[in-house]
Structure 1
Amino acid sequence: MWRGLAAVAIVLNIALNYVSQQYPFNGQTNAVVSGKYPTLLTPAGYAFSIWGLIFLSLLAYAVWQLLPAQRHNPLPSAVARPLVVANLATGAWLVVFAYELMPLSAAVMLIILGSLIVAYGRARRLVLEDQSPAIGSVPVALYLGWISVATVINLTIALRDLGWQPELNVSLLLALVLIAIVTALGILVGSAFRDVVIPLVVAWALVAIWLARRPQYPELAWAALAGAVLAGVVGVALALRRRRVVAGV
């Protein structure tokens, strides 16, 4: 039953995202709302195109997990409940964010993040125990990698909306610290779970931050680029290592 519910939740999430672009809630798309609340960590606009890849992978996963060949695969059943929560919460977040309820949107984002952490941990454990093919964990990894970065941005927006307005030098220092934390977590999670996807998603986001901040805040931009290079190198190294393992070298 939960596999079917996961498939339904994924389709609803994708459909709601499409509707929110064609018929924006509160008369404004997420891109418009985001533009009203710029932060030092908001990436260049192209970075959000990763949602296309996330949704495509989730849709493929929704079909794959229901195939007769996957009936005895434990991964879909293990991640179904948290995946339902993540997708439904993402749909709710679209509405809350469009109405500029920023503290509430940050709370919903934390629910998404928490549910994806649970789903990812379960999925990768089964993959590492050779109970499921690695492809089954890729959609969750893509989703979690991007939501991890989005959560940091959303929390920053919520704090500003609540009236927290530190001086520029303090904001820059905090942004540098957050970039270091995101980079470190991407590398640590990727290494611990032998996962290529998480570090590469983090690198994608950090490159976009570098491009967005390069004109005004070069120090911050170069820190983001350094983080992207580190995460990217780890991702490539993990990919090469996995390739050697598969080849039996």
Structure 2
Amino acid sequence: MNSDFARRLAITAAEILCIIGTMVGLGVLGGPEVQQASGGALAADATYIAPAAPAFSIWTPIYLGLLVYTIWQWRAVGESPRHRATGWLAAATMVLNALWLLVVRAGWLWVSVAIIAALVLTLGVLMSRLTSMPAESTLDRVITDGTFGLYLGWVSVATCANIAATLVDSGFEPQKWVAEILTVIVLAVAAGLGMLYADRLGPRLGVALAMGWGLGWIAVGRLTDRPESTVVGIAAAIAALVVLAATAAARRRPLPHTRTA
């Protein structure tokens, strides 16, 4: 078994595991959905930084992208230096995603925090390598860079929500004004992370749109649903605009060899 075949096989196995994990997360195989698991700790109204329910529809293009990416690996492009350098990382992200879903269903929220943090780091390294080794075709750029860009952007926002939900579930319930201040600080960090991505990875539309999507739905959630907070809603909207603006600025000063997917 040569290394290219082994990597393709690992990516395919990881995709199958990811699909199974998703079915578990959606409750297809029995039990509650992820948002209702762990006593509803990850529900859209559980914390000030939880995105409104429609935000989670972003998983549809991400999961479809991962499926297409897996099929894409079995073509000749899967033997390129670019995909040899990133394929194992891609497989790891799918395994970590499945593990996160299973762990949350089991109620192990602090373990889920460690897993989602590892997922963000792995995606960050993956996107960095994709940036240093640009795609040779528009199709590869859309399938690979686009999919993992969306993935990184969304999971970066989801990590903030995951940590907040875990703290609340553990009994950390400060007064409203304290919770609002802490949430605004976290949103500022998220905006700063979006700016860092734009600086290090270049004008990645997938990353920016996914972060803007997640932050935007946090704003909608706090302005229209419980727990209501005008301060957090406005801060989340500003954070989303900051991320999008940073990416727009990066488009005017692209990094060497940086693509925009």
Q: Same fold (TM over 0.5)?
A: yes
Identical pairs, percent: 26
Give the deviation of 1:59 after TM superposition. Answer: 1.1
Bigger RCO of structures 1 and 2 (CA < 8 A, at least 6 apart): 2
Give me the whole-angstrom Cα distance separating, in 1, the residues matched to 2:84 and 2:39: 39
What is aligned with 1:124?
Answer: 131
1:33 to 2:37 alignment: yes
SS at match of 2:134: helix
1:237 Cα deviation after fit: 5.1
Q: Which residue of 2 aligns with 1:59?
A: 67
Name the aligned partner's letter for residue 28 of structure 1: P
**1:159-189 per-position Cα deviation (integer Å, ceiling 9, x unaligned):** 2233322222111111101111111211221
Give 1:131 shift: 10
Q: Mind listing any 5+ residue stretches in structure 1 that lack a counterpart?
A: none
Compute the displacement of 1:72 (Å). Answer: 4.2
156-165 vs 193-202, which moves further: 156-165
Q: 1:20 to 1:196 in 2, by over 3 A?
A: closer
Q: Structure 1 residues 20 and 222 mapped into 2: Cα distance closer, same or farther (>3 Å)? A: closer
Greater helix percent: which structure? 1
Q: Which runs of 5+ in 2 are unaligned?
A: 1-5
Indicate how the Cα distance of structure 1 residues 181 and 169 shifts in structure 2: closer, same or farther if over 3 A, else same.
same
Alpha-carbon shift at residue 124 of structure 1 (Å): 1.6
Letter in 2 for 1:158: T
**Offset at 1:240?**
7.4
Query: Residues 135-165 of structure 1, C-alpha deviation per residue, up to 9 Å, x if partnerless?
Result: 3322111111111111111111222233322
Aligned 1:51-90 pairs, distance under 5 A: 51-68=59-76, 70-90=77-97
Residues 240 and 63 (structure 1), Cα distance of their counterparts in 2 relative to 1, 3 Å cut? farther
TM normalised by structure 2 equals: 0.82
Compute the displacement of 1:17 (Å): 0.6
Identify the range of structure 1 (48-57 vs 139-148) with the bigger mean alpha-carbon deviation: 139-148
Paired residues, number: 241
Conserved 8 A contact 1:3-1:76:
no
Note if contact 1:103-1:162 (Cα within 8 Å) is conserved in structure 2. Answer: no
- Greater Cα shift, 57-66 or 12-21: 12-21
Question: Which string of whole-angstrom CA distances, capped at 9 and with x for unpartnered residues, describes residues 187-246 of structure 1?
Answer: 22123211222121111011101110014211110111112122223444556777xx99
Partner Cα distance (1:74, 1:220) in 2: 44
Q: Does 1:224 align with 2:236?
A: yes
* One-letter amino acid of the counterpart of residue 23, structure 1: V
Distance 1:44 1:83, change over 3 A: same
User: Residues 18 and 113 (structure 1 numbering): CA distance in 2 closer, same or farther, change over 3 Å?
Assistant: same
Contact 1:187 1:199 in 2 (8 A): no
